[in-house]
């Protein structure tokens, strides 16, 4: 009997695996060194090299490593250089964060420098590490350590259907649900499953996160609140950057809602550096906006409009992903 249930579970897992895999249909892969996206991404990488990185920021290293891997190949010496930097900045619990103090919700409680932040661990560093694993330069154990750490993450609240993974692993931040952060865990798990990783609880987490995020979706707004907590502060809708992130992360879990939310972001493009990062992350799934965003991308790079090296590295990362999609 137990063997029968085990076989059934494996069958269900296999079917879910197929369903999840089929949702990751990016545009056609293939670099074209003649494309303007490629030319300007190379220009942006040169800009990056001409800047001094004043302080160690693991997200900057992860973004630039990912971009160099996609544009110049994962055997490029700078990939291993930045990978070493990333590993050197890992927190004692195995996660990643800011390596400096931060008052995450601006509520007076200060997180210590070695706080592990959920979205840094699963998305900003985790996805580049997953791609580095695919390229054969990060071990399976390293990815499983991230998965197991995320499966042990605290919840931000326990008030609604499904689950909401907390903003960070510090008790200071168990003060409500940050929707894009919650969705990012499901996105990372979906992609990890797509790449062959398997832990029994991953599917359960994906289902529970999906429940919460579908429940929290606001059809009239075609999006989510940034944060919902128990305090008296009114929740506010996502800005374009976080709205795009939520739409991207929900693609494997709730493709219809994710499409509607993503299309709403792309139909309301504004000229803003932080928003541009969001538009670029969605472009592989909304390629009809390529010309409009290429113009903004070129201006941004030609006029060196970046406010921080980290923002520049994020722009470069998405430029590289867009380029690797054949645009």
Which residues are at the interface with Ca ion (CB under 5 A)? 103-105, 107, 109, 172
- Is the CB of 101 or the CB of 204 nearer to Ca ion? 101
- Is the CB of 104 or the CB of 322 nearer to Ca ion? 104
State in angstroms the smallest separation of the CB of 227 from Ca ion. Answer: 12
State in angstroms the smallest separation of the CB of 181 from Ca ion. Answer: 14
- Is the CB of 122 or the CB of 173 nearer to Ca ion? 173
Which residue minimizes CB distance to Ca ion?
Answer: 109
- Is the CB of 111 or the CB of 238 nearer to Ca ion? 111
State in angstroms the smallest separation of the CB of 89 from Ca ion. Answer: 22
State in angstroms the smallest separation of the CB of 175 from Ca ion. Answer: 8
147/130 Cα distance (integer angstroms): 11
CB 224 within 8 A of CB 239: no
Nearest to 277 by CA among 323, 324, 242, 307: 242
- Is the CB of 109 or the CB of 152 nearer to Ca ion? 109
- Is the CB of 104 or the CB of 177 nearer to Ca ion? 104
User: Count of H helices and E strands in the chain?
Assistant: 14, 4
- Is the CB of 66 or the CB of 105 nearer to Ca ion? 105
- Is the CB of 103 or the CB of 148 nearer to Ca ion? 103
Nearest to 215 by CA among 256, 162, 141: 162
- Is the CB of 107 or the CB of 148 nearer to Ca ion? 107
State in angstroms the smallest separation of the CB of 110 from Ca ion. Answer: 6
> Both tokens of residue 89?
């900045």
State in angstroms the smallest separation of the CB of 25 from Ca ion. Answer: 39
> Both tokens of residue 135?
């390229």
Phi first, then psi: give them for residue 267, nearest 5 degrees. Answer: -80, -10
Place of tokens 């790079």: 301
8/14 Cα distance (integer angstroms): 10
77-100: burial string, b at 16+ Cβ within 10 Å, e else: eebeebbebbeebbbeeebbbbbe
State in angstroms the smallest separation of the CB of 233 from Ca ion. Answer: 13
Place of tokens 């010309």: 291
Cβ-defined contacts of 52-58 (< 8 Å, 24+): 53/309, 54/309, 55/100, 56/85, 56/89, 56/99, 57/98, 57/99, 57/309, 57/310, 58/85, 58/86, 58/89, 58/96, 58/97, 58/99, 58/120, 58/124, 58/125
State in angstroms the smallest separation of the CB of 174 from Ca ion. Answer: 11
DSSP string across 123-157? IITHHHHHHHHHTTSS-HHHHHHHHHHHHTPPEEE
Helices 58-72 & 309-324 angle (0-180, nearest 10): 30
State in angstroms the smallest separation of the CB of 109 from Ca ion. Answer: 4
């Amino acid at each position: 009997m137990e063997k029968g249930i085990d076989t059934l579970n494996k069958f269900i897992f296999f079917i879910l695996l197929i369903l999840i895999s089929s949702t990751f249909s990016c545009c056609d892969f293939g670099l074209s060194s003649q494309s303007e996206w490629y030319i300007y991404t190379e220009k942006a990488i040169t800009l990056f090299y001409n800047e001094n990185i004043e302080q160690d920021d693991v997200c900057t290293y992860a973004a630039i490593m990912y971009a160099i891997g996609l544009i110049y190949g994962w055997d490029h010496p700078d990939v291993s250089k930045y990978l070493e930097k990333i590993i050197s900045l890992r927190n004692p619990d195995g996660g990643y964060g800011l390596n400096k103090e931060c008052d995450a919700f601006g509520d007076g409680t200060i997180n210590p420098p070695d706080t592990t932040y959920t979205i840094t661990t699963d998305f900003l560093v985790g996805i580049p590490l997953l791609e580095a694993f695919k390229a054969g330069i990060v071990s399976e154990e390293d990815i499983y350590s991230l998965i197991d750490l995320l499966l042990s993450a605290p919840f931000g609240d326990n008030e609604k259907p499904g689950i909401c993974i907390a903003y960070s692993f510090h008790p200071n931040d168990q003060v409500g649900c940050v929707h894009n952060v919650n969705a990012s865990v499901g996105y990372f798990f979906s992609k990890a499953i797509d790449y062959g990783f398997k832990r029994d609880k991953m599917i359960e987490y994906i289902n529970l996160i999906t429940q919460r995020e579908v429940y929290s979706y606001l059809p009239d707004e075609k999006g989510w609140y940034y944060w919902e907590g128990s305090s008296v502060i009114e929740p506010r809708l996502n800005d374009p950057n976080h709205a795009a992130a939520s739409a991207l992360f929900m693609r494997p879990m709730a493709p219809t809602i994710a499409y509607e939310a993503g299309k709403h972001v792309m139909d309301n493009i504004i000229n803003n550096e932080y928003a541009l990062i969001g538009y670029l992350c969605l472009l592989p799934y909304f390629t009809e906006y390529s010309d409009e965003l290429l113009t903004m991308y070129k201006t941004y790079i030609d006029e060196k409009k970046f406010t921080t090296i980290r923002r520049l590295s994020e722009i470069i990362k998405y430029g590289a992903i867009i380029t690797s999609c054949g645009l």
